[in-house]
Amino acid sequence: MINVFQPSLGKEELNRIEAVFRSNWLGKGAVNNEFISDFAKHIKTEKEHIFTTNCCSEGLFASMEMFGINSGDEVIMPTISFVGAGNAVCSRGAKLVLCDVDKRTLNVRACDIEKKITKKTKAVMLIHYGGIPCEMDEILDLGRSYNIPIIEDSACSVFSTYKGKACGTLGDMGMWSFDAMKILVCGDGSMLYFKDPELKIKAEKWLYFGLESKSGYSNSVDKKWWEYDVSSFGHRAIMNDITAAMAVEQLKKLPDFIARRSEISRIYNERLKEAEWIDLPLSIPEYCTHTYYFYHIQLPNGKRDDLAAYLRANGIYTTFRYFPLNRVKHYDADGSFPNSDYASDNTLCIPVHQSLTDDEVNYICDKIIQYGKEKM
């Protein structure tokens, strides 16, 4: 089966892990610091704004605590969002307010958000779909004029930029995922960004029990180094150095991964032109860069599920991301979402990962074109 997503890890990651074993310290330490420094350079920001955690979902939950979202508050997000974002809002007793998206890019737009703003709106949480940057200037303007923080779920946008700035660093908070199905992978892991360095300090504490003073070695100046206090009832969500070791090496490989993904997307664009019954992804504005996490095609003829089954029977796995939250019954969220409905019923994410060979990419194109000849 050709996978839709697939990681690429090698001896470089293994060697770094071996060095961690030899160091005799597996927890959060020097290798985390190295990863934070490297990642800060990658996203062109200062280390004071970012820190590592064990998964991006933890970042989504942390955002609720950091922006003080509680019962009675409203958080707006596109209905095509990750389940963890919906859970983060609802777990606080806050109201999940869903909005529609652009039917081709599946990204939320300022006009979609503005319709849903009320006096109770406490945050907007957006997602850059598959690495395609949202049109951020208008969304940031909206955030400023209504004084609402903008939280960027950049889980899939580790290489995306908007007008020269990394996605995830445009709003008040951002986050990237390094889980097993992302591009830069380390099993599980995430980087969190805060525009306000004070909030970064608060969040980092919150993700380590809200500890105010350190116990252990690093506090050995105190006579009783085992004493501590807490300032909040926070979680324990940190990245360890085994994980960070993989992340450091993966970050070095990221430009090559993206170059290959871009090339695969180019081949798809070129070859799938022949399948006129498919809408290919729109090209992104020249002031943006793409992560190429998804390559999504649209079949405006109700055949999406049939094509997915056909490809699967031919050894090609595809999927649709993200099942819209308004269709998740437990959220009980109201509204009408015509563009999202269209996208959710007609969009298919076909395989993109850096290990795909040209032969595999051409095989996928052949099968899609053949499907059209047989069934259209």
Ligand X SMILES: Cc1ncc(COP(=O)(O)O)c(C=O)c1O
Binding site for ligand X (CB under 6 A): 55-57, 82, 84, 127, 153, 155-156, 177, 179, 190
- The smaller minimum CB distance to ligand X, of residues 56 and 308, is found at 56
Select from 197, 205, 371, 206 the least CA-distant residue to 297. 371
Please state the closest distance from residue 324 (CB atom) to ligand X, in A.
13
Pick between residue 51 and residue 82 the one whose CB is nearest to ligand X.
Answer: 82
Smallest gap from residue 84 Cβ to ligand X (A): 5
Q: State the nearest-atom distance from the C-beta of 180 to ligand X, in Å.
A: 8
Please report, to the nearest 10 degrees, the dihedral formed by the alpha carbons of residues 208, 168, 260, 340 taken in order: 110
Contact 190, 52 (CB under 8 A): yes
Looking at the Cβ atoms of 78 and 281, the one nearer to ligand X is 78
Nearer to ligand X, 84 or 210 (CB): 84
Looking at the Cβ atoms of 191 and 288, the one nearer to ligand X is 191
Spatial distance between the Cα atoms of 96 and 94, rounded to a whole number of angstroms: 6
Distance (Å, rounded) from C-alpha 119 to C-alpha 95?
13
CB of 128 to ligand X, least distance (A): 8
* Bridge partners of residue 125, in order along the sequence: 151
Unique residue bearing structure tokens 């298919």: 348
Structural contact between residues 92 and 67, judged by C-beta atoms closer than 8 angstroms? no
Q: At closest approach, how far in Å is the CB of 206 from ligand X?
A: 17
Q: Are 298 and 279 in contact (CB under 8 A)?
A: yes
Q: Which of 33, 319 has the CB closer to ligand X?
A: 319
Q: Is 15 helix (H, G, I), strand (E, B) or coil?
A: helix
185 contacts 250 by C-beta, under 8 angstroms: yes
- Least separation in angstroms between residue 334's CB and ligand X is 23
Spatial CA neighbour of 176 closest among 18, 339, 285, 45: 45
